[in-house]
Structure 1
């Protein structure tokens, strides 16, 4: 009897080991994919940071005129503006991975032109190409991360864009300060986009794009790797079904993976119609062929349903209240991100510290500035899913408002001839605090919300629209920042930045929704002002409508 009980217990333990239940998805591979995806943002940050230590030296040597120096700053966002529509087209038709090459290749060519170009025109062309790649490099992470991440880690992973962009700035600032010849700086930046291209080659395509193209098996494999779960686990199948339902597709197709039955006989197989239906092998072959035909039909249906034109997706986006409100929120957050002046400060950091008459050398201040950006981005990523989006945006904008007032006061005093004492240290204290809070809240917020407030069907077109707006406003800021500083004074420019920060805090208090820990269905319901039903009822109502549409088709 004891022998039987021991054998039975061994059998039960073996069964429990071979059939795991309630597996918990892991974030490890999602974090790896996010870090590698944002290596393009690292290269972009380094390309932006090249301007700060280089422009002054190039102007002093006579290599650049004042007008060319101004355009070297403005051509970068202009290139980003030009790349976003092309990136959106490639990402929507060919995939998120092929679109990454639009980010890496132009940055590589642009840095090579900066390194070996012997005239200012080659440098300006290289600057434009770096912007062309930078626009794609910053458009890729919100789209890619929004489609691979779980809701519990979406806020954390979305902040990696600013973290790695800040690391790129720091890399360029440090090298610009320690290199004996500033002409060597582009050569040290050149490996960065190449590393990004090589590393991202091994990352999976997003499951949502695979489903849009009707490739359920590839979507399941990508999802299983991202969640670090077995391919045929219940968790992978359930999440795949949820993603397909969100896209209006019907699952499952044939079981994953599909394996052709092994033939016992080595003879050349006869066509199905010539075999006996009573043969077991022929029945297996018939079932396989039938499943294959079903898979082809379902793939064609999925492609036809998801291959909408850009204009159709745009109409779908603006026809819904959730889409319009999502666009309005992102436009407001991008306006804050741009016109609080941090992009201009990153580009002209050394110039600002020189004008302020700081007690510390301008290059050392710029390096300190980059370190604070990194710390702020890391703290923001840790606090985003704890404090909430609204609280982070309001608190960061209020502190930015106070810091900009302090910097404006210091610059005005220096312009009036007052120097020394606290005036030399005030920018060194206020600007790092301002940068820290910006990267902890307002700087990250557009990318976080961009990955959260749009339905999967219109995510790509919304991403394209917002990225165009980001680079358009950045071009206006960078191009006219030196002109405005010379016309009205640098201190008045910072007063304008302070007004924008205060307006953004008021807007966030009254209009910004909280998305922390909410599913996409909950967020869309809140944006649509659907308060009479809970999220589960709305989700199943939409599911029923989509199933009726599919049955009619």
Structure 2
């Protein structure tokens, strides 16, 4: 049976701990989706503190994907401007604020604004988190770590689906606000991506980051490899238009667009949002 060398095992353990911390944001993004269905079932009942009409329910349901469609643009821009780590940390503040807004919400407008912002946060996470994980993970463990990405999203949705029916909307919001606070406390100690540092020509910071990630002082070879990758990518794509002009980039773009379009055109968000409403009617 093949065994992992001790050095690789230590590296894997650290990468796994980092992955668990960063995937809290994906878990949080999953809670956005899971919150909608059981919550609109509560708010559409006669005993609701904020009774919603069918039209208002439609607007509340639409806010999350509306914000989610714009969010990746902000996520990618922030990740390149302020760093992958800071872009991820920045999402925790509005996440906490939106849950507090839901706890004190008095009308449909408060809920819709909160859900739209949550869509922005979730979309930003979908851009920044894979970028960060891909850049800090070694090729040997990248597949294993990547598999936890969709799992945490589903677990986040399941968490809300199970919790919401048993507590009030406000209580659920206070409980859910603890998770981004936990992410902020844990992730603030994690290293920035060495890839980002090299893009910004901060070689010393990139070396320090690699030492933490690899749990080793001997990182010159990895640093040189990353520097080569950065140079190649900077020479490859200099303008946004090259996504469509370069054949490999164009194929990758079409494949990604096709996969995401297929996922959303199946009506996944609508089915999850309205399943409990239809079951309860």
Taking structure 2 as the reference length, what is the TM-score of the superposition?
Answer: 0.88
Give me the whole-angstrom Cα distance separating, in 1, the residues matched to 2:39 and 2:245: 47
Give me the whole-angstrom Cα distance separating, in 2, the residues matched to 1:138 and 1:352: 30
| Residue 92 (structure 1) aligned with residue 80 (structure 2) | yes
Aligned mate of 1:322, from 202, 225, 248: 248
Give me the whole-angstrom Cα distance separating, in 1, the residues matched to 2:113 and 2:235: 36
Which residue of 2 is the match for residue 148 of structure 1? 136
User: Is the 8 Å Cα contact of residues 40 and 138 (structure 1) preserved in structure 2?
Assistant: no
Which residue of 1 is the match for residue 40 of structure 2? 55
Which residue of 1 is the match for residue 229 of structure 2? 246
Deviation at 1:87? 2.1
Where does structure 2 lack aligned partners over 5 or more consecutive residues?
Answer: none
Structure-to-structure mapping, 1:36-115, within 5 angstroms:
36-60=21-45, 61=48, 63-115=51-103
| Residue 345 (structure 1) aligned with residue 274 (structure 2) | no
Give me the whole-angstrom Cα distance separating, in 2, the residues matched to 1:83 and 1:182: 25
Which residue of 1 is the match for residue 12 of structure 2? 27
Deviation at 1:306? 5.6
| Residue 129 (structure 1) aligned with residue 112 (structure 2) | no
Q: Note the alpha carbon deviations across 1:54-74, whole angstroms, 9 max, x for none.
A: 101211236212111111111
Aligned partner of residue 117 in structure 1, secondary structure? coil
Structure-to-structure mapping, 1:407-418, within 5 angstroms:
none
Aligned partner of residue 239 in structure 2, secondary structure? helix
Deviation at 1:241? 0.9
User: Is the 8 Å Cα contact of residues 96 and 144 (structure 1) preserved in structure 2?
Assistant: yes
Q: Note the alpha carbon deviations across 1:102-154, whole angstroms, 9 max, x for none.
A: 42222211111111021221111111121121211222221111111122222
Task: Kindly indicate whether structure 1 or structure 2 has the higher relative contact order, using CA contacts under 8 Å at least 6 residues apart.
Answer: 2
Give me the whole-angstrom Cα distance separating, in 1, the residues matched to 2:100 and 2:239: 38
Which residue of 2 is the match for residue 200 of structure 1? 187
Which residue of 2 is the match for residue 292 of structure 1? none
Aligned partner of residue 91 in structure 1, secondary structure? helix
User: Is the 8 Å Cα contact of residues 102 and 136 (structure 1) preserved in structure 2?
Assistant: no
Aligned in 2, Cα 1:149/1:22: closer, same or farther, shift over 3 Å? same
Give me the whole-angstrom Cα distance separating, in 2, the residues matched to 1:183 and 1:93: 36
Q: Note the alpha carbon deviations across 1:328-362, whole angstroms, 9 max, x for none.
A: 1111211222223333333223135457xxxxxxx
Which residue of 1 is the match for residue 164 of structure 2? 176
Deviation at 1:81? 2.4
Aligned mate of 1:313, from 230, 236, 239: 239
Query: Over aligned residues, Cα RMSD in angstroms?
Result: 2.5
Aligned mate of 2:257, from 316, 323, 331: 331
Aligned in 2, Cα 1:22/1:184: closer, same or farther, shift over 3 Å? closer
Structure with the greater alpha carbon radius of gyration: 1
Give me the whole-angstrom Cα distance separating, in 2, the residues matched to 1:24 and 1:169: 33
| Residue 119 (structure 1) aligned with residue 107 (structure 2) | yes
Give me the whole-angstrom Cα distance separating, in 2, the residues matched to 1:102 and 1:77: 20
Which residue of 1 is the match for residue 196 of structure 2? 209
Structure-to-structure mapping, 1:376-415, within 5 angstroms:
none
User: Is the 8 Å Cα contact of residues 147 and 206 (structure 1) preserved in structure 2?
Assistant: yes
Aligned in 2, Cα 1:319/1:165: closer, same or farther, shift over 3 Å? same
Give me the whole-angstrom Cα distance separating, in 2, the residues matched to 1:151 and 1:87: 24
Q: Note the alpha carbon deviations across 1:437-488, whole angstroms, 9 max, x for none.
A: xxxxxxxxxxxxxxxxxxxxxxxxxxxxxxxxxxxxxxxxxxxxxxxxxxxx
User: Is the 8 Å Cα contact of residues 76 and 131 (structure 1) preserved in structure 2?
Assistant: yes
Q: Note the alpha carbon deviations across 1:265-323, whole angstroms, 9 max, x for none.
A: xxxxxxxxxxxxxxxxxxxxxxxxxxxxxxxxxxxxxxxx9699xx9431333332111
Deviation at 1:157? 1.4
Which residue of 2 is the match for residue 10 of structure 1? none
Deviation at 1:163? 1.5
